[in-house]
Each structure stands twice: as C-alpha cells, then as structure tokens.
C-alpha cells in the first residue's frame, strides 16, 4: 500500500511544537449545564411546592 511521505517523519511537527497550557473553560458542557438547569428549575421547585402546607 503506497504512503504519502516517509513514515520516519511521522509526527515531526507535533513533537517540535511547544506545549502550551490549556485555557480554563468558563462554561460547563451543554449536557452538564442542562442537567443543572433542570434540577434548579424543576426538582427544587417541586420540592418547595411539596413542603408548603396546603
């Protein structure tokens, strides 16, 4: 199977690139954020409604 370029040079650029620390994320991923919003809006509101004497 033919290759595009020499296999001895594989990964050359990546290994020479200086490693920089990642920037901190300011937002949570949408899956986590949606779960937090759901708990805050519905589960806590439901718990408050159940605890109020009628």
pTM for this structure? 0.42
Contact status, residue 25 vs residue 31, Cβ threshold 8 Å: no
How many CB atoms lie under 10 A from the CB of residue 15? Answer: 7
Predicted pLDDT at 20: 95
What pLDDT score was predicted for residue 52?
A: 75
- Tell me the domain boundaries of the chain: 28-54
Tokens of 36: 């937090």
pLDDT at residue 23 in the model = 93
* Residue keyed to tokens 């605890």: 51
Tell me the pLDDT tens digit for each residue of 1-54: 677 778 888 889 999 999 999 999 888 899 999 999 999 999 888 888 888 776
Q: According to the model, what pLDDT value does residue 54 have?
A: 65
């Amino acid at each position: 199977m033919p290759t595009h370029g020499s296999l001895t040079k594989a990964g050359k650029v990546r290994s020479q690139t200086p490693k920089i620390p990642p920037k901190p994320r300011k937002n949570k991923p949408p899956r986590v954020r949606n779960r937090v919003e759901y708990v805050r809006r519905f589960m806590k509101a439901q718990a408050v409604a159940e605890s109020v004497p009628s």
